[in-house]
Structure 1
Amino acid sequence: MKIREVAIDTTDLDAAAEFYRDVLRLPVAAEPERVTVQVGFSKLALTRGAPFDGVHHLAFGISPDDFELAQNWVRGRLDTIEFNGSDVIDGPPGWDSRSVYFRGPDGIVLELIARQADADAPASTGDAPRLLSISEVGIGVPDVAQAVRELAETYGLQAFTPRLPSFTPVGDHDGLLILVDPERIWFPTQADFPARASVAVRIDAPEDGGKLMLTAAAHLES
């Protein structure tokens, strides 16, 4: 599965454009009511919206050869989020990954994740890490198991690991939908719940299932 585009709201469109352009140094196209950020082969679309509870979560993939560069690069610009006294965070069993987490506009929990599955991806030739794609998008759903079944039936997507009642990734190393209970706190934060806000995701999947509403505010399209 590949995540082609993620669309979310932001309360301050100008500040969001400035963050992704000037802090993360990503290509940004700004319009009066929409900002589009190019993240490798993926796009992040931001539109102006009302304040909302909770925070979004996105992960951007990088080459494993870029991890130390990425870690130091983020540290020089932002406060990283630590877990057990370290901002180098290993993925769950079966992921074979390392991540560094930080915050963006509206408190969004952002992550740079280096997966060994991307070992063949070329590393950056500059002073900033090369982002490969939007690797993960987090979505709060009222029934995780039901959402997993719907994604399998609609798009032929399979559950990844770990498979828990309140947390199940769906997809593969190329792209994961992180389905969580709305009351589950985003790791590695201590208090942030999934956003109660609009999120739309366009994916490449094994089967073209069209549009699927996971909640009233969250939908997918292939």
Structure 2
Amino acid sequence: MKILNVSITVRDLEKAAQFYRDVLLLPVETTPTSAEVAIGSSRLTLTTGDGFEGVHHLAFGILPSEFELAHEWLARRVTMLEADGSELILGSDDWKSRSLYFLGPEGIILEFIARDADVSIVSSGGENPYMVSISEVGIGVEDVLATVATLSEDLAIPNFYDLSSTFASMGGHDGLLIVVQRDRLWFPNKVSKSARGPLVVQIESPARKSRVNLGSGISVVSG
């Protein structure tokens, strides 16, 4: 499963676009009402809106060979988040990953994740880390297990490694939906709850073209 596009709302469109363009140095195209951020093979679409509370979570895939470069590069631009006193956060034996977390516009929790599955991809050798795609999207729902069942049945999205009543990962190494119970606090700062507001995730999957509405303006679209 690959994540093609993620659409969210922001209260201050100009400031959000400026962050992705000037801090993360990503290509950004703007109109008076929206901004589209190119993140490797994925796109992040921002539109103006204030009908949500809580914060979103997105992870951008980076190359394992560029992890140290990414760490140094990020540390010069943003305030890094820590877990157990460390900015470098290791995934479980199942995930086989290393992550760096930081805050983006309006409190969004962003992450650079390097997966061992991408170890064969050769670094471009540039001064900035290459962002492969949007690797993960956090989705807050009322009932995690019911949502997992719906996404599995309607869109043929498989479970990854995690499945509980408060947290589940769905998809694969190329793209994951992180489904959490709405009152669960986001890792690693464990301060902010998941956003309750507009979120549309467009994925590439083997399922027939379909759309699943998960409530509160949240949808997952295949095709």
TM-score when scaled to structure 2? 0.97
Equivalence for 1:214 = 214
TM-aligned CA deviation for residue 77 of structure 1: 0.5
Corresponding position of 2:61: 61
* Counterpart in the other structure of 1:202: 202
Aligned to 1:12: 12
1:160 matched to which residue of 2?
Answer: 160
Counterpart of 1:187 in structure 2 is 187
Specify the alignment match of 1:125 in structure 2.
125
Query: Could you say which residue in structure 2 is the equivalent of 1:113?
Result: 113
**Superposed displacement of residue 51, structure 1:** 5.6
Which residue in 1 is equivalent to 2:144? 144
Query: Quick check: 1:39–1:132 contact (8 Å CA) kept in 2?
Result: yes
Structure-2 residue corresponding to 1:175 = 175
CA distance in 2, matches of 1:196, 1:207: 27
SS of the equivalent of 2:177 reads strand
User: What does 1:75-94 correspond to in 2, within 5 Å?
Assistant: 75-94=75-94
SS at match of 1:162: strand
* CA deviation string 1:133-162 (max 9, x = no partner): 000000001111111111111111111112
Structure 1, gaps ≥5 residues long: none
What secondary structure, in the 3-state scheme, does the structure 2 residue paired with 1:206 have? coil
Between the aligned partners of 2:122 and 2:179, the Cα distance in structure 1 is 30
Is the 2:210–2:221 Cα contact (8 Å) retained in structure 1?
yes
Give the deviation of 1:190 after TM superposition. 2.4
Partner AA of 1:110 in structure 2 = L
SS of 2:176's partner is strand
Distance 1:38 1:122 in 2: 20
The number of residue pairs the alignment matches comes to: 222
- Which structure features the higher share of strand residues? 2
SS of equivalent residue, structure 1 residue 214 = strand
Residue deviations 1:145-181, cap 9 Å, x none?
Answer: 1111111111111111121210000001010000000
What's the offset of the Cα at 1:113? 0.1
Q: 1:49 maps to which residue?
A: 49
Supply the distance in 2 between the matched residues of 1:20 and 1:57 (Cα, whole angstroms).
15
Runs of 4+ off more than 6 Å: none
Alpha-carbon distance in 1 for matches of 2:26, 2:122: 18
State whether residues 100 and 112 of structure 1, in contact with CA within 8 Å, keep that contact through their aligned partners in structure 2. Answer: yes
Query: What is the CA-CA distance between 1:92 and the residue it aligns to?
Result: 2.7
Gaps of 5+ in 2: none
- So what's the TM-score if we normalise by structure 1? 0.98
Task: Name the stretch that deviates more: 54-63 or 122-131.
Answer: 122-131
| Separation in 2, partners of 1:210, 1:179 | 19
Q: Quick check: 1:62–1:112 contact (8 Å CA) kept in 2?
A: yes
- SS at the partner of 2:5? strand
Counterpart for residue 2 of structure 2: 2
Distance 1:45 1:154 in 2: 24
- AA at the equivalent of 1:145: L
Give the distance between the partners of 2:122 and 2:155, measured in 1 at CA.
Answer: 30
Alpha carbon RMSD of aligned pairs, Å?
Answer: 1.0
Over the matched positions of the two proteins, sequence identity in percent amounts to 46
